[in-house]
Amino acid sequence: MDVDTVTGLLRHLKDIPGVGVDVEGVDRFAEPDKRLFTAEELAYCAVQADPAESRAGRWCAKEAVSKACAKYLQLTLREIEIRNEASGRPIVLLPGRATEVGLMAEVSIAHAGGAAVAVAVAVMHERPTAGRLAE
């Protein structure tokens, strides 16, 4: 490939979403740790059939989201919160500094065989500027 082709391809990399994945053993999360989770996350996990499995899934989700968002913005794991819609689908809550610049993330969590795994995708949506109508 020539330099112009490579340069053109590199310009389009910004359009590719950030992706993150994490996997953890459930036994690592046998006890709740207030340093790792928000109060809301711990409360949700405490009422699940297997709280350790739920905590492991939440942790994997936070790690995966952090990795996916790193392409755009470095976030601490305490800034990322995983909640659930009424349907049970996990949703990602990002801090104001991330949402203000248009950063959004989606996550999927699974558990099997004593392990939890999560995959996240992050995208940067262009925010309408003053004087420009949103579509």
7-48 tens-digit pLDDT: 666 566 667 899 999 999 999 999 999 999 999 999 999 999
> Which 3 state secondary structure label does DSSP give 7?
helix
pLDDT of residue 8: 63
Model's pTM, two decimal places? Answer: 0.84
Class of domain 16-124: alpha beta
Q: Which of 117, 119, 110, 116 is nearest to 92 (CA)?
A: 119
pLDDT of residue 11: 65
pLDDT of residue 29: 97
pLDDT of residue 44: 96
- 60: pLDDT strictly greater than 90: yes
Per-chain mean pLDDT for the chain: 89
Cβ-count burial 19-31 (b if 16+ within 10 Å, e if not): ebebebebeebee
pLDDT of residue 6: 62
> Which 3 state secondary structure label does DSSP give 54?
helix
pLDDT of residue 97: 95
Q: Which of 125, 132, 127 is nearest to 15 (CA)?
A: 125
pLDDT of residue 28: 97
Q: How many helices (H) and strands (E) does the chain have?
A: 4, 5
CA distance 8 to 75: 29
How does residue 135 score in pLDDT terms, banded at 50, 70 and 90?
very low
Show me where the domains of the chain are located: 16-124
pLDDT of residue 9: 60
